[in-house]
Amino acid sequence: MNNASFKYPDQAAYELVTAQLAAKNITYKDIAVITKELQKQYLPDVPLSEFEAETQDVLHKREVMNNVMVALELDRLATAHELKEPLESIICNDAGVFGVDEGLALNIANIYGTIGVTNYGYVDKVKEGIIKRLDEEKGDEVNTFIDDIIGAIAAAVAAKMAHKYA
Ligand code: MG
């Protein structure tokens, strides 16, 4: 099972992450808008296009992609009713005390240090833009992980930008 010559499939991972986000109608720009808002008092003159480019860069990072892939697969499996009980019901109902969604999000935010973590906590509380849409979307789609993941990516980009301009 464990092949010592396994080469990490970064490009395939990136393609999966891109497809997972597209399936939820989420663009780099949607994420960049959240980050720009987070950084507006510090970086008011940096154009949205630069936040968008940094979002793409963050999404190419292996540790980020790993957490995004796992999180979004769990939303997809829950939507397809392919998880075992009680995990299926826990994720479908976005149970507040579950916490694994926030845990994976924190893995992403942590990569960029304390600025990433504090910004994730903030976006998780205020839930703006696309995060609000995903959090409130009531339909057949399970969005338990995606809202936290988007918040964490936005927070990671905010931290990256803060360090870049420090
Ligand atoms: Mg959640």
How far, in Å, CA of 48 to CA of 157, rounded?
A: 12
* Mean pLDDT (whole number) for 23-27: 93
C-alpha–C-alpha distance, residues 132 and 28, integer Å: 16
Q: 135: CA distance to ligand 1 center in Å?
A: 7
Digit-coded pLDDT (tens) for 110-120: 999 999 999 99
pLDDT tops 90 at residue 2: no
CB-based contact 51:32 (threshold 8 Å): yes
CA 26 to centroid of ligand 1, rounded, Å: 16
- Quick check: 88 pLDDT over 90? yes
CA of 153 to the centre of ligand 1 (A): 14
Give distance in angstroms: CA of 145 to centre of ligand 1.
5
The Cα–Cα gap between 88 and 99 comes to 15
Per-residue pLDDT band for 25 (boundaries 50, 70, 90) equals very high
Cis-peptide, bond into residue 86, ω within 30° of zero: yes
Residue 143 Cα to ligand 1 midpoint, Å, equals 7
C-beta of residue 106 within 8 angstroms of C-beta of residue 152: yes
pLDDT of residue 103: 97
3-state secondary structure of 80: coil
For residue 1, the CA-to-ligand 1 centroid distance in Å is 33
Contacts of 92 (CB under 8 A, 6+ apart): 78, 142, 144
40-68 mean pLDDT:
97
What are the chain's domains?
A: 10-165 (1.10.3760.10)
* 104-150: pLDDT as tens digits: 999 999 999 999 999 999 999 888 788 888 878 778 899 999 999 99
Report how far ligand 1's centroid is from the alpha carbon of 87 (Å): 14
Residue 68 CA to ligand 1 centre (angstroms): 13
Percent of the chain, pLDDT > 70?
99
